Structure 1
Amino acid sequence: MPTFRRKRVVLVEPSAALLHAAKTRPEKEVYYLAQTGEIFETYEEYAARLSFYKLKHFQCEVSGKSNLDYFQALDSEAQEARTMHSRFPEQLKPAILKAVQWQVMGRLDHLVEAVYERFKDRYFAGERVLVEIQGDKFLARIAQVFPPRPTSPIKNNYLPHKSPSMSRRSPGPEERPCHVVLGDLKIPVKDADIDDPAAYIYKVQIIEEESGKGADSRSDKKLSAKERDAREVNRQKWSGSIMEVRCNELSRDRLSFSKSILRRFIRDCVDRDAAVASPWTVKPSIAERYGVSSEMPEETRKGVDAIKRKESDKRRKVFDDKEGPPSKKRKSEEGPDAVPPLPVPSPVKVEEVKKEKKKPIRYPTEDLDIRLTDKEIKSGMKVRRPTPSRSTLPFGEDPAAFEGFLMSYNFLCVYGQILHLSAFTLDDYEHALRHSLQHPVQLIYEIHSTLIYNLRTVPFERHSAVVSLLNSKDAEPERCLGVTIDQLTAAMADIGNNWERVPLRHSEQREGWEDALVGCLKDHATTSDFPRLREILTRLLFAPDISIDSPSSGESPSAASSPPPTTLSVPSTPQERYHTLPPADKIAILSFMCGLAVSSKTIHAHMEACEESLTALRKEKIEVNRTKKQLLEDMATLLGEAQEVVESAEANGGEQSDHPPSASEESEAVASRKKPKKKAQGGSAKQREAARAKMTAAKQALAERRRLDEEVNKLERRLEGIEREFRKLFGAIRVKPMGRDRFYNRVWWFDGMGSASLLGSGGSVQYGTGRVFVQGPSEFDVLLLEKVEGDLAARRRDEEGEEGVLGVGQWAVYENVDEVEQFIAWLNPKGVRELALKNAMTKWWTHIAPGMRKRAADLETHAKLPDARRSQRKSGGIGELGREPYMQWINRRASSGA
């Protein structure tokens, strides 16, 4: 069975409603997944399960191959099983399966080890083996097995069958059954003298083979021509011979029997329940094929029950020991000489004596079980979390618009390289979507054009939007913004019909992208998967009547200066109408297109390339850490050697070795010259020379240590680079929050993922969002919170503040570095979730804080006065608006051919 995150994939059982419908309404239509046999009631369930199976996250349980989808893993397991069963000796299968049936062993490895030790020197009639004769191995088949007699001596190696003495000593197989201890693995091999494998005698026949196809043909290639000729002579000499040998002359081919092959065979044939001390059991179909009994013998059942009771008692004892001191022994256990307990003075004191001992808490633990003590509060730990802002969220007044805005931004930045989009900030993206003047914004038309190019490779149905609009005519209102569905479909007929062939060249300012956008929506969107389709297309293809909805004199028509008209009646073009769309409609279009683009081949190929790069990075990280550890050990050794040299030099007067000798030393030197022996002066010189040598060695050791320290610094910088690259690549596969706090609020930081970079040229700081977002708990997390004892709502108000409590689907943001620092200080590392969150934020703090400061500085630099903005709108021109960062953005990644 394929595994997902090291757990076997459990197939979905039919729901109770489906089982009931199978009896009462057999004609009911369902969705059937043929590869697995699963049945689903709705298409959404079927599609979700199929999408899960197509993820490249499964692993073949037999071979260990990973990065497969479910069906590839199934095929791999089937192929590996066929190969393994064809190689594994057929004669061993029933014996091994009977041996492992009902065995109680905790791990499969232990079971494999026991079976291997029991069977490695035991052979069966009909089995193909290798027999060693005069240093060469020949392929043979076992013709007959002779069990040992109780008094049979263990001697002789291989003996020709024609030896009469051997034939007389060979016991007949009818005298005693073969391998009588195989079925009981609990008997140790060393204690199995009653059935010693070394005392067995095997009658084998050498099998004739063509040259180059023998069992040892692989080793023949490594021999010289003379050695191969000699081996060929021996092969011809012994070919077809029959002889009697013992197990020390026999062996099996490693491709047919080894611990790894045995493990695969056992894992493919047996199973075990999850209960404590459950025995290994052979799968019913395999047991029936090989004649293995599937009914547990009563004696075995009693043994298994005894093991289960023993294991349960053992666990209960461990639990009781952790809970508190053992209970008092009964008088019968204490003995007759036991001293009776003192009488209890009063019932009140009995309760005091029986106070339970508190179980020590092991940290980290469940976050909601932790309460700050008075000592921790006095030491300065934060009691209340700083309140994140909801008012400064982009499009925060509409939660759906904000989530679509954030999702589309993350998609465009993560896949910017393959979409040929240069990086841009979240602020630039927001301002570009809020832009309501007809002057073109390069960021907007570059984003739409690259998505249109990408969606050309995604399968679509012609005029799907028109068909869905006509089908929904009865369920929809007659008019939307004053336009009927018939009027809308008529206006759509001649726009964007060749959208998949429009060039949209960068050098031509992507001319025609608005019409191509409408054509893309016509062929990809339906009212079911894009609910706002009718309203958006109406706004793109119809304009208000100027005579009715004209703006005041002196002002340009702008969605920012006046509310959008409620009635549209004049046919128009997307080029004239796109800039008047409300930001929520622009976000809805981009969210829909990004959702479709995820399924494109380009995105999928990029994801697979990122997976491969992540694997390479993991290997590189292991090697760098290994090298760094070795260098640190070498540095510690050099430092110790240098310290020893310095201490030795100081002890031997090494500090004076570099100075001239004193007057007393000179007088002693003169006196020593008059004596026959001249060792004093020489001894002092030798000491100074030795000291100098030691100091030189110490200096060399310190120099080498400095060199190694530089190497370690290089490796540390490389590790930091690997972490940044890992974040970029992992962000292209899936986006995960940094963690969750005690109340299951999710904390997000979107910078540095995909094509976005945290560092620019020369190590300059770069940011994308420059903010830390907080998202309320999910619906599943809310269910967990409801199970918490006590008044959780009051606790959340106390620790998060009245305005800080976030519900399902609610977002807030931290824009100030000080607020994030206070938030990190509020996190309690005694909790499991907050410890992981605090570690993650501390790890990336050197990038989070500079990015937030850089954004704050940029906002201050580009701040504009309200009067300047009003004068710009009144003039109807661009004016100062052209200096806004989002207007100055240039797509440097644009493809020259498009």
Structure 2
Amino acid sequence: MVLFKRKPVRYLPHPYIDDQECDVWVISESNEVFVSYDAYLERMDFFKSKRFTCEVTGRSGLTYFDALRSELAGSKEIDEAFPQALREPVLRRVQFSTTSRIDNLVEEVFNEFKNDFYPGELVTVILDDSSRLNGRVRDKAKFAEIRGIDGGILRNAFSRYFVRLIDRPDEEALVDDQHIVRDRKIFTKQMLRSFIKNAVTREGWIGAPWLVKPEIAERFRIDTNVPPHLQHSTKVAAKKAEKRNSNVEQQDGMFGIWQPNKFPELKPAPKARKGHSHQHPHPERTLDPAAQAYHNFYHQNTPYVPPPMPDPGLLPRSWGHMQPPPQPPSDYPPYYANYLPPNQLAPNGHYYPPPVQPPAPQPVPLKQEVVVEIPPPPPSIKYPIEDLDVEPVRDGTHRPALKFVTKELYSDETLTKDAIPGLKGENIGLLLETWNTLNVYCQVLKLDSFTFDDFVDAMQFSSMEVDCELFVEVHCAILKQLVNSEADNEGAIQISLPDLPDSDEEEEEESEEEESKAPTPTPEPEYPAKRTRSSLNKVKFAEPEPEPVEEEVETVPHRAAEMFGEYDWISRLRKRDFKNGGWELVMVGLFHQLSGRPRLTDLCNKLLAHLAPLDAEPTIETARIQYSTMDINLRAEALQIICQLFLETKTVKDFLEDMSNTMTQYRKAKIEHQRARKEALARLKELQVERKLLAPEPEKSPSPVPELEEAMEVEHAGEGDVSIPDSEDEEPVVTRSLRRGTDRAAERKRKREEEQERKEKAAEAKQTKGSKEYQKVLKQIEKEREKVQAAEDAIIVVDSDLREADCPRTRVLGKDRFCNRYWWFERNAMPYGGLPDSSTADAGYANGRLWVQGPDDMEREGFIEISKQERDGYYRRFQMTPAERKSLEEGPTSLVNAKQWGFYDTAEDLDMLIGWLEGRGVRESKLQKELALQRDLIIKHMEKRAEYLLPREKSEEPPARMSTRTKTYVSDKSHRCLRWRNTTAVAEQGYRHVEPPPKPRPRGKKNQYVVEEKITSSAQSVLNKQGKPVTRQGTRYNF
């Protein structure tokens, strides 16, 4: 913007042209149009005078055209040199700033941004060995400060940056604020000053805010609506009100009483110019209000100054913004009608357009107090508020990148190391739900707890020779809860089952019955009782009724019904016949019967189409083979169905009721412990007061050591014996000494010792009486402290028991601003590291990940996908829509719906997430508080998981001896799920779930069972009297 006398040049408006054929003259640099050649020449002479200043470079003494070229060149240079990544944040920082001097503003902005970096910026990374590498900031994360319980700062806030190294394209550096710098030539105060001067403007009144130019603000979506408290009208109104209030206070004060009376102030009449007479022919004539307004307009003290014109590039092609002078009334003196001041002529030679007749003003009373209403300042926002109403933080940070278990959610295929092969996105929730259900109710199912990683590995494991014990035991344990055994309530069914679908035999019987029925003759048309020619024609030409269309019978895409005869799946389940494909066949029968439920028909048919295909024989071996070849998606859906059925059983309801009663007892115990702690603290407070009263008086400062005083006295006593020689040659002169000097010093020492001993005995006699009571109080204080500590330890134990007994629902940690849910499944209903006596308890974790679920459909439609009117209003406030804000603040890893899941598994990601959350929002303040409370536990189990998943060394592998003659051996190094054993079932019932229950021995042998074993080889091993296989040593005594 070219300056003239330190102010922007005011451009002339476009003239109103009636005749389209007339000639015009244009100055293209200023976009000004003239219809008068003289006015054009006058304006050109003005522009060619060397009185203009370039605002960017500050050079003065230039013509308008030279200054404009200098500004364009300087702006282009600044635009190329200033970092692109810093432009938007710097402009947002400067917008509406009220710092008056630009030097102070530049200093403030420079200090704020010199140690802050933004994505996309070129920086230099300083490695630990002091080497420097150039790179570009890819991502930025802020870490909030952590405060202790006492309020002290445990860790200051800091930022971390992911920098892609230019010289090493495949590597990235993760650095903090201390190991990253930018080039000194890129971000300097001089360059910052030039950029700010080129991009912002400011009005001339005191206290005016800096404003980003409209075209630049529109490019960076910066709000240009000046807040009310920064507007000029508000400032003027406030000053007027302040002045009026001060005048009222002076008039109401005591000082006005003593002011002397003064004559009214008289002013001399203005002198008239020579040759001009301002006397009116009707001096006593009273003018009406319209004439008075017209008279005041042309006879005001200051000449009329036209309003400032806007930038020529933004000028409208109309005269609507111009304000013409008022017209004289009809009864005004006629010689005023043709009078027009010279300054009312447009500079480009045109008069104003035909004016519009203003409405007659209303008569204003002489004394009327004008009340100026001052707009109140904007009310202070009381946080927390709705999360999406919080002002976005535009510093380049976004939520830390999520990790996914499905490849379809990754935008970069090189980052798919955590993806589960073949898993669909909508089945992640099924796996998490099923794993959580099995671990929460592991006591009811008699299962060892297991990690989520082992569970996923078991769901993927497929082998025809080797069975995964975790996979088999889970299915058998759930199936046993659906139907009781024969010995338990005669095998009662614990769930409601629909009727079986119509079998083929029933269809054949129905078809035979239909064939046996006599054919129904075609009915003749019925004639009306009163027959006329028209009625007979209607009956004759009536259209025949359409024959009922037989519904097409859908063909069943499986052969599940053919797999069962008299020995159905319920009978097999009652007998616990699970081995050699038995439990797989039970699953087929269960799905076949559940297909009668309309909600599960399609899903069950899809599962049965794989388990009992049309091109395979309907045998138990087919069911076993087909189940072993199922992919993880079908397995997850099948397991989720039987888990839902398990939750409907009476066993689960009784377990939840018992847990509810247990939690009630825990709460009562916690109240008792809290009461005991409160009583102990009150007693401890009383004992502390008593201890202070019985405490011995502090001893006085000890007197000087007698030995030192004696040495000083002896030294002073012997000073007269020998004189100090003045030189080395002079011998000391022996003088006369005092008699008995040493004896008097010894006497004083003896008296001093006796006095000290007497004082010590008196103090000891005084304290002997209270010392026993004091020691007694100290012992009581120690006991009360032990009681307080014991109560607090008990409360901690009860809280842990309450958390583990809270089984009815899995509690979510919270939601963020975009309604994403955050889950830590170890939070309730299970131990943090799984059951301590589990076969995989050495893993030390259960899930080990913080899971993030996308927003629900209703929440997405209410918060993100809003109506056009709400979207436009939101855009006016924040220059972005909620959907754009979600995309910007979540980064490349965004979740769209509730079927999509992501996770965090490192401490750095968790800290970055806590720092990203905004504490001023309702939802995120709760989530941030909960994450900060559980942070240490979450990080601990994340580290346990990372340690468990590391490849084991050969020295760490336990030695194992197993026979591989009849069974294929699969190492548990590649499949960790094979390490799991169901020790809980073996300890409680003596056998695994897949094994049939042992038959009791004959009478006389109590609590002993005979386990039936199938002979796998032709040669039967020899058993001794105890039923054990004979060893070499046993053969010696087997006669």
Larger Rg: 2
TM-score with structure 2 length normalisation? 0.43
TM-score by length of 1: 0.49
